Amino acid sequence: MLHLMNTLGRKLEPFKPANPNMVNVFTCGPSVYKPAHIGNFRTFAYEDMLVRYLEYSGYSVCRGMTITDIEDKAIEEAEQLKQDVLRMTDDNLRLVEQEMNLLHIRKPEYFEKASDHVESSVKIIRALLEKDIAYWYDGNVYFDPRKVPGFGKLYQVDMSQWPANPKRFHKDTYPDMRWNRGDFILWHGERSAGPVWWQTAIGRGRPSWNVQDGSIVADCVEEPLSIYCGGIDNLVRHHDYNIAILESVRPYPMALTWLHGGHLYVDGNKMSKSRGNIIYTHDLIQQGYSAEEVRFFLLYTGHYRARVNFTAAVMQRTAERLRSIKKLIEPISARAAGSAPADDGLGKELAALFTAKMDEDLNLHGAVDTLAKHLAKVDAASMSAPEAAGALQALQRIDHVLQALF
């Protein structure tokens, strides 16, 4: 049985879908104020791997991804570039889609821009205002966490330390992994003329980042999500904000299981424009790596929850590791020679080894190493063609998850 490290409760749990007939998985998608780098794609890749492994395990899965195309950073970036903000974010989103396709990251069934769900955000904000959980102040709407029992349950915030008279935080996002102990913004009231305001039932303005994900989820899925995913940075503020907002207006949990992936560093440092160390997928392709090798690096180098450090040497070793595994498969493929596959033998062994490791909180690194060790002992010449075909079929099924072997 698949076990996942549920951030909600901080424990390894057997996976139990909210709806066994359709596993709904939502993931935080890109903030498209700039093109996505390999750190972003590491998150998207582990989420894609999760969905593919659920399918490998026999589940029907529907995935959603939220696209942040309205936020302070996008507006500031567009102003600096003297571009229309929504046109700029649409251009960046097209680049994301192209690179997702390149890295075999399937486009989710729900691939939703926040700008297409403004009315849903307004509906949620109105409900929060009616419940007196949100309030107007100086033309904006703010959320009061003190009005929500159990606020901060994902991060395990100690609300006894919350100030009695907190200040208001009016930005969409704040730097660093720290908590803002106060009321967070839900709605930016119109301050000046511009292209990013909407006329709505609560006036002209735009929804904050924190209400956008919940509004998209509410429009797409009318039941608890089985899994919600994101990067570790979303664990501070953002996901607890999402939970508090959505669970205040719906009578069931936002999600049963929460997964958070680790960051990708470059030579020991966070990627940043100021350091000049941002790496994009096309940079690695131009260096001669295949898209499959880049995907393999993103998935194999470390467990999805671990911090990974990119260096040129690690990238090279990881690509060579993939190439060596492919060479182990070549004689098995040749021996299969188009034969009908056998149901037992090596294929069954490989499937069992892969499942045993992947069921341990998606231990793909361990799964790959175990498979490679087993394949290294195989004498393809001594196998029957049906047994080789069965092994090849098992590896092809495994590659539905990896998307790198064939």
Q: What CATH number does residue 213 fall under?
A: 3.40.50.620
Q: What percent of the chain has pLDDT over 90?
A: 94
pLDDT at 166 > cutoff 90: no
Asked, for residue 153, whether it belongs to a domain, the answer is: yes
Residue whose structure tokens are 């100086």: 138
Of 324, 344, 355, whose CA–CA distance to 389 is shortest?
344
Confidence tier at 275 by pLDDT (50, 70, 90) = confident
Residue 199 has a pLDDT of: 95
Residues 256 and 320 in one domain: no
Q: Is 350:371 a contact under the CB 8 Å cutoff?
A: yes
Residues 63 and 119 in one domain: yes
Mean pLDDT of the chain: 96
Answer with the one of 243, 261, 279 that is the final residue of a domain. Answer: 261
Residue 302 has a pLDDT of: 95
202-228: pLDDT as tens digits? 999 999 999 999 999 999 999 999 999
Amino acid (1-letter code) at residue 297: F
Tell me the C-alpha distance between 74 and 83, whole Å: 10
pLDDT at 292 > cutoff 80: yes
Residues 239 and 307 in one domain: no
Residues 89 and 225 in one domain: yes
Answer with the one of 261, 283, 302 that is the final residue of a domain. Answer: 261
Structure tokens at 249: 């207006």
Residues 186 and 38 in one domain: yes
Q: How far is CA 280 from CA 49, 223, 231, 296, 302, in A?
A: 20, 36, 18, 15, 19
Residues 344 and 199 in one domain: no
Residues 232 and 305 in one domain: no
Asked, for residue 151, whether it belongs to a domain, the answer is: yes
pLDDT at 294 > cutoff 70: yes
Tell me the C-alpha distance between 183 and 187, whole Å: 12
Residues 96 and 208 in one domain: yes
What is the count of structural domains for the chain? 2
Asked, for residue 280, whether it belongs to a domain, the answer is: no
Residues 212 and 312 in one domain: no
Asked, for residue 273, whether it belongs to a domain, the answer is: no
Burial of residue 264, with CB atoms counted within 10 A of its CB: 0-12 exposed, 13-18 middle, 19 or more buried: buried
Long-range CB contact pairs, 133-138, < 8 A, 24+: 133/248, 134/186, 137/168, 138/189
pLDDT at 288 > cutoff 70: yes
Asked, for residue 288, whether it belongs to a domain, the answer is: no
Asked, for residue 322, whether it belongs to a domain, the answer is: yes
Residues 306 and 390 in one domain: yes
Residue 135 exposure: Cα atoms within 13 Å on the Cβ side: 10
Averaged pLDDT, 104-129 = 98
Averaged pLDDT, 129-156 = 97
Q: Is 257:289 a contact under the CB 8 Å cutoff?
A: no
Predicted model pTM: 0.95
376-398: pLDDT as tens digits? 999 999 999 999 999 999 999 99
Residue 86 has a pLDDT of: 95
Tell me the C-alpha distance between 166 and 181, whole Å: 7
Category of 57 on φ-ψ map: left (φ > 0), alpha (ψ -120 to 50) or beta: alpha
pLDDT at 273 > cutoff 90: no
Tell me the C-alpha distance between 29 and 234, whole Å: 11
Answer with the one of 216, 246, 261 that is the final residue of a domain. Answer: 261
Residues 239 and 378 in one domain: no
Residue 193 has a pLDDT of: 61
Structure tokens at 175: 């730097």
Asked, for residue 99, whether it belongs to a domain, the answer is: yes
Residues 37 and 180 in one domain: yes
pLDDT at 274 > cutoff 80: no
Bridge partners of 111, per DSSP, are 65
Averaged pLDDT, 107-112 = 97
248-266: pLDDT as tens digits? 999 999 999 999 999 999 9
Asked, for residue 87, whether it belongs to a domain, the answer is: yes
pLDDT at 192 > cutoff 70: no
Domain that holds residue 365: 293-402
